[in-house]
Amino acid sequence: MTVSDRTPAHPAWLPPEAFRAIGARRVLVLGDGMLVETVREEITVACARFGGQVRHRQDQAGERFDLVLALTGALPAMPTAADAGHPFLGSDAAIATWQYGWRGAPEALGGEGFVLTRREEVTVVLADEPRGLLYGLFEVVRLGESAFGSGLGAAIHRPAMRLRMINHWDNVDAHPVMGQVERGYAGGSLFWQDGLPRRDLARVQAYGRLLAACGINAATVNNVNVHRAETHLLTDRLGEVAAIARVLRPYGVRVHLSVNFAAPIVLGALATADPLDPAVRDWWASATRRVYEAIPDFGGYVVKADSEGQPGPFAYGRSHAEGADMLADAVAPFGGVVHWRAFVYNHRQDWRDRSTDRARAAYDHFVPLDGRFRDNVIVQVKHGPMDFQVREPVSPVIAAMPATRVAVEVQATQEYTGQQRHICYLGPLWSSVLRFAPHGPDGSTVADIVAGGGGFVAVSNAGADHFWTGHPLAQANLYAAGRLAWQPTADPTALLDEWIGLTFNPATGDDAEPVRRTLHLLMDDSWRTYEQYTAPLGIGFMVRPGHHYGPDVDGYEYTPWGTYHFADRDGVGVDRTRASGTGFTGQYPEPWSQIYESLDDCPDELLLFFHHVGFRHVLHNGSTVIQHIYDTHFAGAERVAEMRQQWHELDGLVDPALFTRVVALLEEQVRSAEEWRDQINTYFFRKSGVPDAKGRPIY
Ligand code: GCU
């Protein structure tokens, strides 16, 4: 799947044709700055291709433009009657720019916002800062012809979240079993190859464009598990990070680095990494100063500490707040932030010990520290309390740290959702997390909480694969991650539609309408379909240990990882109630605390996450647990077989290479879904002895 640096990558959501509407027009770009140059460059290329014209000044009276992209600071003074002859400067379009009070009121737009409006047949994008202009350009790209139609109303666009981040789990060196990218399903790293930085960073540049076009503005380049070679990225291999930062900078993407908490020891400087030791603090301060000398707009550090074997402050009897604050002090003089991950739990627990509950761990470790983190620390919390399963409740940590900046972390790389061999569009899952209201319908949502400081982080699913993401349709997940971070209230189906419209373009021979219809059929509900044929009712972790692909119901049942389903002949599920279980439900505020506690009120899809019930327990949907398991597994696998049929209808209507790749992957998805169906059904039939009411084959 991997291609060399030189093979042009698939254009994803930025095929040249996506710029047709702009490129065929007369465009004026006003302003200065690196990102304004990026805008000019994009438009110049588009105009050269489609016959339009781009100008950098309006110097002739009467010169007309179809599209004006301008920094407010570059606009001429308030138009007067004398400007009347200038169709842009003296027109309603110009007056409109003042009318809304944008000029002199930068807080109205913010550093990344823009205004998009249309007056007197001129489409106008105004921004206070170059970043806003870049995002405005991509909004016009998304709109295509409709950006030039009379239906375009005036609107201010601003990102809901200031930090919209991608985390790469890339290693410099390839691991013999894991490959180069931890949980990567898209070939090697975009940044390193054979232990060395890639010399040709053209792919990284193309990646930066794609990130900007979906709204991502920050990226870590290396794995949260920081091994020896990657520890050096902070010091003697810093130049490699600086080179990536140089390429991503024109697209408004700041680079962050995952660092090893024990770096002072690993790099041979000190005998301790104790965060309160003055020598350790000095070491980090000077290492950080050098980072900022090389990368002046460096974003900051991401840290996985005291988690799954990574070093951390516990070794010195220090708290996570003490560890995080030490690094925060090092980056603070430069405006940097520390993303400190809350994924801290005991991965060496005894499966016999029913009192330890991994779901509780992040809350138990972090909530008592609320208010003790510096302002530039962001506690980065996985969206669920366990680990990116297809269905989990929203992590209770997100609502429980009001005095801390909190970010929510999702996994675009499909570790537990089909590993980019299965179609699984995750927009609906992430949207449900962002819309979740921890204090009930009248309270703030997860999106509101994380927008207040921490932002949205997605573990990247991209790599050196020609289609970027292994499964070509998994591109939609990367796209949706950025768009949801920008606008968390967006409808995920509408975002999918945007992605389809940009990616599958009539001008490249794709027959747009059937393609759009079929892709919606295949993808809209693909997350729920995946859920149907895999682990039922929120139980999770019925995967093969290690690589996590395919079913193995007891694979984790007697391991130290804290991921159990407790199935026996009578029933299944984890009792996490306060009344008789681990008490995890008590980590939620009302009303959820009570809803999850109550067997009657707990939503079906999370029943086995919160309760241990008998196989004949009746769900809200009227079915018993065991019959529901059978029904969903038959239905899910059947649905995947239909999806394979539906995809075949696109033969000849899309790029043949893409078509063939998806054909092969759907074969695997059908095989795998059947394997899941049969193993899950057989396992529960053998445990329970209850036959399928419909008499279908179970083994
Ligand atoms: C999962 C995943 C690991 C990863 C970890 C993390 O457990 O399997 O590969 O390192 O999450 O998020 O840190």
Is the residue at 515 inside a domain? no
Q: Which pLDDT score is estimated for 370?
A: 98
Instruction: Provide the domain count of the chain.
Output: 3
DSSP structure string for 35-65: HHHHHHHHHHHHHHHHT-EEES---STT---
* Given 182, 415, 465, 605, the catalytic residue: 415
Expressed in angstroms and rounded, the spacing between residue 409 Cα and the centre of ligand 1 is 12
Measured in Å, residue 662 CA sits from the centre of ligand 1 at 27
Looking at this protein, which amino acid is placed at residue 641? A
Q: If you take atom 11 of ligand 1, which residue's CA is the nearest one?
A: 387
Q: Are residues 240 and 278 in the same domain?
A: yes
Instruction: State yes or no: pLDDT of 417 exceeds 60.
Output: yes
Are 223 and 321 in the same domain?
yes
Q: In this structure, are 126 and 211 located in the same domain?
A: no
Distance CA 654, CA 663 (A): 12
For range 373-402, the mean pLDDT:
98
Q: Which residue, among 577, 548, 694, 687, has the nearest Cα to 634 in the 3D structure?
A: 694
Task: Specify the residue for token string 């327990």.
Answer: 617
At residue 100, the pLDDT reads 44
What interhelical angle do 526-533 and 625-648 show, nearest 10? 130
Q: Which residues line ligand 1 (CB under 6 A)?
A: 182-183, 224-225, 304, 343, 387, 415
Ligand 1 pocket test, pick from 171, 261, 341, 387 with the greatest ligand atom count within 8 Å of Cβ, gives: 387
Rounded to 10 degrees, the C-alpha dihedral 220/222/226/231 comes to -90
**Ligand 1 atom closest to 178 (CA):** 9
**Which of residues 136, 157, 178 is at a domain's end?**
157
Ligand 1 binding pocket mutation candidate from 341, 415, 459 (most atoms within 8 A of CB) = 415
Q: Which of 169, 175, 183, 410 to mutate to test the pocket of ligand 1 (most atoms within 8 A of CB)?
A: 183
The pLDDT of 605-611, averaged and rounded, is: 98
- Alpha helices for 89-233 (secondary structure H): 92-99, 130-143, 202-214, 228-231
Residues 172, 321 share a domain: yes
Q: How far is the CA of 166 from the centre of ligand 1 (A)?
A: 15
User: 607 in a domain, yes or no?
Assistant: no
Tokens of 339: 């993303």
**Does residue 87 lie within any of the structural domains?**
yes
With beta carbons less than 8 A apart as the criterion, state whether 159 and 485 touch.
yes
Distance CA 186, CA 174 (A): 14
468 shares a domain with 372 = yes
User: Which atom from ligand 1 is nearest to the alpha carbon of 409?
Assistant: 12
278 and 150 share one domain: no
| Distance (Å, whole) CA 122 – CA 119 | 5
Residue whose structure tokens are 């696109």: 650
Domain co-membership, 113 together with 177: no
Compute the distance between CA of residue 8 and CA of residue 556 in angstroms, rounded to an integer: 42
d(Cα 480, Cα 383) in Å, to the nearest integer?
Answer: 16
* Structural tokens at position 17: 């044709």
> Tell me, what DSSP letter sits at residue 295?
-
Residue ID of nearest Cα to ligand 1 atom 7? 387
Q: Which residues make Cβ contacts (< 8 Å) with residue 268, sequence separation at least 6?
A: none
Closest residue by Cα to residue 688 from 634, 623, 616, 632: 616
CATH number of the domain to which 667 belongs: 3.90.1330.10
Last residue of a domain, one of 490, 523, 547: 490
Do 397 and 274 reside in the same domain of the chain?
Answer: yes
Distance 64 CA to ligand 1 centre (A): 55
Q: Is residue 499 part of a domain?
A: no
Question: To 5 degrees, how large is the angle CA 386–CA 392–CA 396?
Answer: 70
Does residue 567 lie in a domain region?
A: yes
Retrieve residue 36's tokens: 């304004």
pLDDT at 512: 82
What type of residue is 499? W
Q: Is 272 found in the same domain as 373? A: yes
Q: Is the pLDDT of residue 92 over 90?
A: no
**CATH assignment at residue 413:** 3.20.20.80
Spatial distance between the Cα atoms of 168 and 211, rounded to a whole number of angstroms = 13
Alpha carbon distance 266, 232 (integer Å)? 9
Distance 183 CA to ligand 1 centre (A): 8
Annotated active-site residue 392? The verdict is no
Q: Record the tokens describing residue 660, joined without a space.
A: 């063939």
> The domain containing residue 27 runs over which residues?
16-157
Kindly report, residue by residue over 295-339, the tens digit of the pLDDT. 999 999 999 999 999 999 999 999 999 999 999 999 999 999 999
Residue 218 and residue 256 in contact, taking contact as beta carbons nearer than 8 Å? yes
Tell me, yes or no, whether 141 lies in a domain.
Answer: yes
Torsion angle, CA of 100/104/105/106, rounded to 10 degrees? Answer: 120
Determine, yes or no, domain membership for 523: no
Instruction: Indicate which atom in ligand 1 lies nearest the CA of residue 182.
Output: 9
Whose alpha carbon is nearest atom 10 of ligand 1?
225
Q: Which of 66, 329, 387, 498 is catalytic?
A: 387
- Decide which of 135, 157, 179 is a domain's last residue: 157
345 and 411 both lie in a single domain: yes
The more confident residue out of 104 and 641 is 641
Global pTM reads: 0.96
What is the per-residue pLDDT for 101? 44
**225 C-alpha vs ligand 1 centroid, how far in Å?**
8
Which residue puts its alpha carbon closest to atom 2 of ligand 1? 183
pLDDT one-digit tens code per residue, 241-298? 999 999 999 999 999 999 999 999 999 899 999 999 999 999 999 999 999 999 999 9
Q: Could you tell me if 481 and 551 lie in one domain?
A: no
The kind and range of the H/E element at 193 are: strand 192-193
The fraction of the chain above a pLDDT of 90, given in percent, is: 87
3-state SS track over 458-510 = EECCCCCECCCCCCHHHHHHHHHHHHHHHCCCCCHHHHHHHHHHHHCCHHHCC
Residue 102 lies in a domain: yes
- Per the prediction, the chain carries an average pLDDT of 93
Long-range CB contacts (< 8 A, 24+ apart) of 659-668? 661/467, 661/471, 661/472, 662/471, 662/472, 662/473, 665/421, 665/422, 665/423, 665/471, 666/423, 666/640, 668/421, 668/422
273: CA distance to ligand 1 center in Å? 23
Confidence check: pLDDT of 238 > 80 = yes
Q: Are residues 171 and 33 in the same domain?
A: no
Identify whether 308 is a catalytic site residue: yes
CB 269 within 8 A of CB 231: no
Q: What is the DSSP letter of 221?
A: -
Active-site annotation holder among 200, 308, 570, 649:
308
**For 183-199, what is each residue's pLDDT tens digit?**
999 999 999 999 999 99
Q: Is the pLDDT assigned to residue 390 strictly greater than 80?
A: yes
